[in-house]
């Protein structure tokens, strides 16, 4: 007789999109999770698809996990709806992927890579500030930046009261009177690059996100999306696993 496949309770909950694994652990430890009517507080508890899992009285049903790369065009905001009636990425995306959530945001005028998924655990891992997942941008800015400007960006700029933004940038080329930069962020502050370059007196003309960790825009046209291949998904998860291990090693020292 074939043995029933089981998975850890926190992963089962996260795979539903209800929350991240870490948040699921908090629910479990708080006595807010029931399996087949019984409160479970053991983090390593195993469940199968036949088990009835409830969190705070809500039935948990794992979804089929989907992952896409989307080349966001300009003119759309990265939210599900907007009270001011602005167009959102969901107005441009087909119905088959409208249930997916973006990892991070790009402002209305920016273009480039969005990773979108219904995997709540992956969203949390990619967004966690401690992991410092690198995001690479191609930026065209007014005027000619110099090495001193780049050093100021690396040392940090206070873009709002109490908020210091950091970026690693290099000049790729000059286009007439403007500068083309490659900018790498390890933070996710609102309009961070635009505010930093405004501070330096070099407003952004165009901004495109090229990559997030090992996932990039290659093979995508503006407005197009593609499903991540199993190999890409595994590569991304392995990459995050390495970052998490590095963070754990730092904390243990």
- Nearest of 121, 120, 116 to residue 212 by alpha carbon: 116
Cβ-in-10-Å burial (0-12, 13-18, 19+) of 138 comes to middle
Q: Are 25 and 19 in contact (CB under 8 A)?
A: no
Ramachandran category for residue 75: left, alpha or beta (phi over 0 → left; psi -120 to 50 → alpha): left
CA distance 17 to 151: 41
User: Does the annotation count 107 as an active-site position?
Assistant: yes
Token duo for residue 28: 């479990």
Catalytic one among 51, 82, 107, 119? 107
Please list, in sequence order, all residues whose beta carbon lies within 8 angstroms of the beta carbon of residue 30, skipping any fewer than 6 positions away: none
Q: Which residues are part of the catalytic machinery? A: 107
């Amino acid at each position: 007789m074939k043995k029933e496949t089981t998975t850890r309770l926190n992963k089962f909950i996260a795979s539903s999109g209800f929350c991240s694994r870490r948040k699921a652990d908090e629910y479990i430890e708080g006595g807010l999770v029931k399996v087949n009517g019984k409160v479970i507080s053991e983090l390593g508890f195993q469940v199968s698809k036949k088990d009835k899992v409830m969190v705070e009285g809500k039935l948990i049903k794992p979804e089929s996990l989907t992952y896409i790369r989307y080349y966001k065009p300009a003119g759309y905001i990265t939210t599900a709806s907007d009270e001011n009636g602005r167009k959102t990425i969901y107005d441009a995306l087909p119905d088959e992927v409208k249930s997916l959530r973006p990892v991070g945001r790009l402002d209305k005028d920016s273009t480039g890579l969005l990773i979108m998924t219904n995997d709540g655990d992956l969203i949390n891992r990619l967004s966690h500030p401690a992991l410092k997942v690198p995001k690479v941008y191609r930026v065209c800015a007014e005027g000619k930046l110099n090495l001193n400007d780049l050093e100021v960006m690396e040392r940090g700029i206070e873009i709002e009261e109490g908020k210091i933004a950091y970026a690693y940038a290099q000049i790729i080329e000059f286009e007439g009177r403007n500068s083309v930069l490659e900018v790498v962020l390890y933070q996710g502050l609102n309009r961070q690059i635009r505010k930093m370059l405004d501070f330096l007196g070099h407003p952004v003309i165009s901004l495109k996100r090229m990559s997030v960790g090992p996932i990039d825009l290659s093979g995508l046209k503006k407005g197009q999306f593609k499903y991540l291949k199993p190999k890409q998904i595994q590569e991304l998860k392995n990459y995050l696993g390495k970052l998490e291990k590095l963070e754990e090693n730092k904390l243990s020292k």
